[in-house]
Chain A
């Protein structure tokens, strides 16, 4: 209930504090995600095995076409940029063509710009190739991907492709067939915490333990989000604590949800419903609530079978919400079923 009050507090604080803290310390406005973007393989957090492999390749120079697939904020683009920087060194500018989703990447661009670049001659040391970086390939139209396929092969003597995407299955088969696929997984909470701490120290950010915890929780394995949240909290409030973080990232407060789940386990439907009702009245969408319930549930320290049973029920509800039934009735139904599961598993 304390948390509730924190949530309820009006927002005069943020308007005051940025004037005091924001002006004094930081003259540079570079986003931290850019400022602390890793420049070498050693700095990249997470997916050590893959990055080490890539660092070996970067040393040798013969990089096959690769697709790096993985969720957002795990360092796909960073890896590719590192790779290109190490492979090409000073001629990075001339020998790298980077296109991301904000560029026009229609069929014509593929057929003209990319092909032209592939045909272009750049003097490079032996064994190095030009690199075409296509970020977010899965957002390319399939036609454009189709147009890419033969280019990837024919000019492989001089040009290599490094693609990054979230879902490799959205890349057409033909392209997948021409690439070695590397998969990145989400970063662990520990990795994110470590990096966040590093940044905090470098930026002289005041922080409280639970603040960082909150950051890690909201990030969910997404380093970009973690750093963004950290920065915006710092800019807004000056100090990183849980309350501030959740003010910045307006989510249903996990403490509330944890309370709710606990009361479900204990079989107290009323209390659980009260919390959900409160969240609902605060105006959160069913989608948001269920998402956070899942997140909290996943990280909760409860009996494993029970957790899985809970997750299954949450999944059912989520399915319904996706179907369009985002009403409070569904949420209360979820609570009821959770309670039943808790009772059943206990017996």
Chain B
């Protein structure tokens, strides 16, 4: 097709120059003349043809039409067949075809193409050259019309043959073209035939239409490949088509003439003969004639515009127009279209979104909002109204004695009285504790009407910036305080805001504060320098300053001991920003570095560098100049997804110019040991009973008086976890406290009888009353619940064991009493008791088989740990519920039995809440037990043969090697860590020593 198009172009080239080039003034009139000449010629011809030649012409035309209509074969062949000399011409044709084929086979298409181009150029050149001749030829040779016509025909033939030869591959297309041409011819001949009767214009236009439709057909036939080029052709210009048309036109017009001179057969033969492109001499010979023809054609081109008017009409064919437009559109708008679509989509979505948020929904008259109040006659609602406006004034003035005048103003009289009384009572009970102060601060935090206590002692009201912190009550309008006070959890509400607020862990907090305050000094120094001197000095100084002290600190302690809270409190006090990285977000090493590195690398000097701005914006500068502290939470929690986390921490620690605080619940993993060794660690202990007063005050502020003992119990039950305790208290208090409490509250003297009433709040929340455990599971939950201290296994039973004496209210059995009184009753009692303990022991065994204390394997910690565990995790395979049930029914049954018989009063079970002293004693006992165990050879506790034969020798070897290594390791100051310890195996020094010493004496 390409070549075909080039061929077309060559035709165009031939056509165009005369057309486009500014034609001489001479030419124009001449064309008009030529037109006229043609027209006259036509007339002449008509007139001439009136005789026999006319008949011939008619016959010829009819023949051609028949042929063209009847068959698709080229009109030429039809003509040839129709002609009397058909044999010769046929032979010639065949010959030509074979030659052409052979020739095209011999020569490459590209070569030919070049040739054609050259010829085209040559033609152009010749055209220019011979333009001059035009005039002369036109003027002089009126008689030489025949020749001219012949040359024209030749030209046509040449062009056609060019088309034919140019491409073998596209021959079919060419054939079509030829078909078209021939058809055109026939049609034209028709037209000419009709021309006799009709006006030429209409005929031409009709003809043209047909031609166009043919074109379309052609397009439809061509393959998709061709389609583009075809379209190109089409789009290129309608002119081309016109040109073609005109060309055809002239050809046809000329065709009419031969009858005068000879038969159409002759003409055909001539054309075929001339058409052989192989013969160069033909070209050269016909050059002149060609030019002549072209010039003639020019004339016809001039004629063409007449038809051109018809042409555009045809172009308006909707199909074509559509195709063209699509083509034109196809290039550019694909991206635009998408965008448009997108926009549409977005718009749609936006319109959809708005209705989704239906503000109307919120306070509908749904049943749920108007639920009837549950009939627990609780006084909580009133309690919260404690509304201590006058009272807090009293507190403020620190005149607890000035209660009289407040009495007058009270609304809920007894409440306030109670509150005051209680506070006073607490104060008297704990003279050392700053009760009022604490009450004040808590009260201000609680948000129950705060405006009267603004300057409460040691209350820094600075708001935190690092983190979206909420202290809602202070901002909310008074009317709705009742509602909105309750929106935060107590843990949020009562969290410390400064280091002074933190209860317990005094030394840890102060050391944390020291650590951070050093930094704040540094930063202030830097800031000063930044203000005064140039920036370059600052960097040097800062580098020096960072080297002065370590930048990392590790906070370690059980959950709920206030690690994070104290970090925030201290930072709040010192005005640091806290940049928190916690386990709740993805923290791969890469990501951590990305997020944090920027912060750690800079000193966060004030942003407005220019002196002027710093002077001007003095106020704005302060917040922006805040130091930044990086808080990495739960460094011991490392998931598989967080690869590179530890490494990233190590990197940050070494490069950081900011203080870094790490927190960890457990001992940090071995991979972090390196960091830990080089930096200080602060240990946070769980809260002790000193917190109980604070808790008591909190509860008081929230409207409930709770006896300190029960709080103490709860706290120790939770193992000093303040957060948990607070939450449980919140649940307890906000759900109305104890139901029995209402009666107490109505009485004025609360704490007279509060003692035994309130201590079952634990049992409501978390502990269960043993004496109520007629239904099976309840008793069993004691075990589930009572996790006690640091016993390695069987926590629950242990707790029961410790609590058994109080549970059973043991009588005093002394040897003497037993010996003296051989009372069968006492013996029976003793037997019962022994049964109790026996069942406990049995339960212990049973639990040992079950899954009660399968230790939580910490898979998220270091990977090395996984391999170390020798135990199989049987939790999935053992159906444990039966053994649970057995244990629980057994013990509860025993205890119940005993109690029914001997202890008259129902003792509320006070589970897992031994006193401080008792606990200490216990832990000491446990420690001593452990020591005792360590003294025993390991084979005693690990009796299995495989272990004795396989593991123990290895362990011994490791221990000895490590011992030696430790001995050699003195050159560096840092502490030595055992290989086993690095693996996560933790055992005391005694164990190692034993491991080293076993068999050693024999060796020596």
Contacts and interface: CB of A to CB of B under 8 A. Distances in A.
Contacts, number: 246
Interface in A137-189: 141-143, 146-151, 153-154, 156-157, 160, 167-170, 172-174, 176-183, 185-188
Contact of A180 (B727, B849, B881): B727
B560 to A, nearest CB: 4
A182 B641 contact: no
A315 B886 contact: yes
Given A115-B585, A123-B357, A178-B727, A186 B889 contact: no
Contacts of B489: 62, 64-65, 156, 160
A53 B734 CA distance: 8
B728 A150 contact: no
| Residue of A141, A294, A315 with highest tally of chain B CB at under 10 A | A315
B558 interface: yes
Interface string B875-910: 000110111011101100110010000000000000
A146 B882 contact: no
A64 B893 contact: no
A174 B723 CA distance: 10
B351 interface: no
B380 interface: yes
A258 interface: no
Given A85-B368, A115-B585, A127-B486, A64 B883 contact: no
B656 interface: no
Contacts of A88: 368
Given A53-B736, A123-B359, A298-B889, A318 B641 contact: no
A69 B780 CA distance: 12
A111 B860 contact: no
Contact of B366 (A55, A59, A90, A153): A90
Contacts of B723: 177-178
Interface stretch (B417-425, B596-604, B838-846): B838-846
B665 to A, nearest CB: 7
A287 interface: yes
B584 interface: yes
A305 B897 contact: yes
A299 B856 CA distance: 35
A207 to B, nearest CB: 24
Contacts of B846: 315, 318-319
Given A64-B727, A319-B845, A181 B765 contact: yes
A303 to B, nearest CB: 10
B462 to A, nearest CB: 19
Contact of B860 (A70, A123, A146, A314): A146
A31 interface: no
Contacts of B859: 141-143
Given A86-B368, A177-B560, A322-B878, A150 B634 contact: yes
Contacts of A291: 882
| Residue of A179, A180, A186, A188 with highest tally of chain B CB at under 10 A | A180
A56 interface: yes
A240 B526 CA distance: 85
A41 B372 CA distance: 12
B518 interface: no
Nearest to A87: B368
A336 to B, nearest CB: 18
A291 B845 CA distance: 18
A188 B775 contact: yes
Contacts of B560: 177
| Residue of A41, A65, A160, A169 with highest tally of chain B CB at under 10 A | A169
Contact of A287 (B640, B776, B879): B879
A236 interface: no
B766 interface: yes
Contacts of B735: 52-54, 56-57
Interface in A109-151: 110-111, 115, 123-127, 129, 141-143, 146-151
Interface string B416-434: 0000000000000000000
A14 interface: no
B766 to A, nearest CB: 5
Contacts of B639: 107, 143, 146-147
A125 B778 contact: no
A49 B764 contact: yes
A139 to B, nearest CB: 11
A89 B369 contact: yes
B216 interface: no
A308 B374 contact: no
B842 A315 contact: yes
A307 B889 CA distance: 10
A250 interface: no
Contact of B731 (A66, A85, A149): A66
A142 B858 contact: yes
A185 B775 contact: yes
Contacts of B781: 69-70, 183, 185
Interface residues of A, number: 89
Contact of A319 (B359, B883, B897): B883
A308 B897 contact: yes
Interface in A184-228: 185-188, 221
A30 B986 CA distance: 55
A56 B777 contact: no
Contact of B374 (A59, A148, A186): A59
B689 interface: no
A19 interface: no
A160 B364 CA distance: 23
A266 interface: no
Given A41-B374, A323-B849, A177 B885 contact: no
A312 B856 CA distance: 29
A61 interface: yes
B366 A156 contact: no
Contacts of B776: 186, 221, 298
B392 to A, nearest CB: 23
Interface in B151-203: none
Interface in A28-55: 41, 49-50, 52-55
Interface string B731-742: 110111000000
B584 A147 contact: yes
B487 interface: yes
Nearest to B367: A89
Contacts of B486: 60-62, 127
| Residue of A108, A187, A294, A322 with highest tally of chain B CB at under 10 A | A322
A64 B639 CA distance: 28
Contacts of B637: 143, 146-147
Interface in B819-863: 835, 839, 842-843, 845-846, 849-850, 856-860
A170 B787 CA distance: 12
B470 interface: yes
A178 B559 CA distance: 9
A291 B637 CA distance: 40
Given A64-B727, A91-B361, A183-B768, A322 B850 contact: yes
Contacts of A287: 879, 882
Given A61-B483, A149-B584, A168-B784, 20 more contacts: A53-B736, A56-B376, A59-B371, A123-B357, A124-B362, A126-B480, A127-B483, A142-B856, A142-B860, A143-B859, A148-B584, A150-B583, A157-B488, A173-B559, A178-B723, A180-B724, A186-B777, A298-B776, A304-B897, A318-B846
17 contacts: A49-B764, A86-B368, A110-B584, A123-B357, A125-B363, A126-B483, A126-B484, A157-B487, A180-B730, A186-B778, A294-B885, A298-B889, A307-B893, A308-B839, A308-B890, A312-B842, A322-B879
Shortest 5 CB-CB distances between A and B: which pairs?
A53-B735, A186-B777, A62-B486, A89-B368, A150-B582
Interface of A: 41, 49-50, 52-62, 64-66, 69-71, 85-86, 88-91, 107-108, 110-111, 115, 123-127, 129, 141-143, 146-151, 153-154, 156-157, 160, 167-170, 172-174, 176-183, 185-188, 221, 287, 290-291, 294, 298, 304-305, 307-308, 311-312, 314-316, 318-319, 322-323
